[in-house]
Amino acid sequence: MNSKQLFNTRLKEDIGLRAYYSKYIFNSHFLLFLTITIGVFIYSLVGFIQDAEPSIWYLLIGSIVLSLSVMPSYRSLLKEADGLFLLPYESHMKTYFQGTLRYSLALNVVLMVLGVALSALLISINLSLSHIIIVVLAALVIYVFHLIIYRVAINSKWNHWSVIGLLFVTSVVTLFLTMMFPWLAPLIPVALIGLYIFFSKQVHTNLNWFRYINHEKDARNRYFRVVSMFANVAHMDGQYKRRRYLDKLLPNFKKDKFNKENMYEYLFYRSFMRDNDLPMIILRLIIIAAIIMIWLNIWWVSIVIGVFVIYLIVLQMNQIYSQQAYLLWPKIWPVKRSYIQESYIRYSNKLVVVLSLIIAVVFILVHLEQFYMAAILPIWGYLINRVLSKGIYKKESMLSD
């Protein structure tokens, strides 16, 4: 197998993995939510732009949004064993890495297009159409060069966040100056070539395989963290992380309560608070929901957003049941499945209602006149939790011996 065949194999594997998870992410519920949210967002943004007066702050915000959309995300598709078995073939891997570079460019196109569209709307308050086209072309050049530079930087002494930080700052400054002085645009490729030469002089003589492999592992985990918001992911590393500041929230069962009927409720709480990503994912979902509610400021859209976020939260919490129900605990201390299920119902109902109330409070603060509509959110949380929980139990009974 040559390097081209190896790349094609890895490419097919990665595309297959993304296709598998995409059917869970882009289901009919999510597409409906996206359609409503994006439609209302664009409508409100266009209305805002029509009434806005030209200001340098719109150019700065536009350059930041555009810079975020052209940030590099390189996928080498390497695996741990490659550092050992491909080491003798390093000189023959040029075709492989050229393929991964093209694939990485294609992977980030959608995010870049969205960023370009959003920033173009913002800077249209200040700039003419011809000026906007110059800025967009400059962003495309930066997008390609950033990925090339970043791939080279992986094989240098620079760490990930230092490179990303440097590229982000230079991108913001470059795009902002281009918006202010369009005649500077031809100098952008020259500056980027200089940055490429700067990193090229700091690369290791030979390929640092383990650095590339670790970078790929981190990139995969970042992708799986996004996917885990919509589906259970079995490929993630580091599933548990103790957060001492959450220990005080753990229920303190008395000795007579810590028995077979209640032990799993404690384990569910403990697993939730010490899960590597779940608490932070839920926190991000609530923050995103709050930002969208405040930005759009339309009560029925806020209800739709709240309902969808609660649905995602319940989906996230279901994985805690699967994690605990299929571990060694039931074999070490065998208990009836009904005890586990009842414990999960108590745990999930309490947690879902609390999180739904937090979202409801945000809704009330944003839409004080329609405060009574916030009652929909905890009721929905309770009902959808019961429905989805029954789905887990049904699946479990089908898989049982």
| pLDDT, tens digit only, all 401 positions of the chain | 688 899 999 999 999 988 888 877 776 667 777 777 777 777 778 888 888 888 899 899 999 999 999 998 899 999 888 888 888 888 888 899 999 999 999 998 988 998 899 899 889 998 989 999 999 999 999 999 999 999 999 988 888 889 999 999 999 999 999 999 999 899 999 999 999 999 988 888 788 888 899 999 988 888 887 777 776 666 555 555 555 656 566 666 666 666 666 677 777 777 777 776 777 778 888 888 898 888 878 888 889 889 988 988 888 777 777 666 666 566 666 677 777 777 788 888 888 999 999 999 999 999 998 888 999 999 999 888 888 777 666 655 554 54
- Residue 88 CA to residue 68 CA, distance in Å, equals 38
H or E segment to which residue 342 belongs: helix 337-366
Helices (H), ranges, 86-230: 94-107, 109-123, 129-154, 160-180, 187-200, 209-227
Q: How far is CA 286 from CA 18, 30, 48, 225, 383, in A?
A: 26, 16, 25, 16, 19
Q: Do residues 346 and 265 touch, judged by C-beta distance below 8 A? A: yes
DSSP type of residue 340: H
Q: How far is CA 335 from CA 258, 262, 268, 377, 400, in A?
A: 13, 11, 15, 34, 15
End-to-end CA distance of the chain: 42
Output the six-digit token pair for 171.
Answer: 């991108």
- Residue 119 CA to residue 59 CA, distance in Å, equals 9
| Domain residue extents for the chain | 3-227, 244-396
Residue 108 dihedral angles phi and psi, to the nearest 5° = -95, 5
Output the six-digit token pair for 132.
Answer: 């906007």
Q: Is the pTM of this model over 0.85?
A: no
The predicted structure's pLDDT at residue 241: 58
Three-class SS of residue 50? helix
The predicted structure's pLDDT at residue 62: 92
- Is 238 exposed, middle or buried, given 0-12, 13-18 or 19+ CB atoms closer than 10 A? exposed
Place of tokens 């879902």: 352
Count of beta carbons in the 10 Å neighbourhood of residue 7: 20
| Closest to 312 measured CA to CA, from 17, 14, 34, 20 | 34
Output the six-digit token pair for 219.
Answer: 């990139």
Q: Do residues 139 and 70 touch, judged by C-beta distance below 8 A? A: yes
Q: Tens of pLDDT along 324-372? A: 666 656 666 667 777 777 778 888 888 899 999 999 999 999 999 888 8
**All residues at 6 or more sequence positions from 138 whose CB lies less than 8 Å from its CB, including other chains:** 174, 175, 178, 185, 188
The predicted structure's pLDDT at residue 349: 86
| Buried residues in 12-48 as b, exposed as e (16+ CB within 10 A) | eebeeeeeebeeeeeeeeeeebeeebeebeeeeeeee
Q: Do residues 212 and 78 touch, judged by C-beta distance below 8 A? A: yes
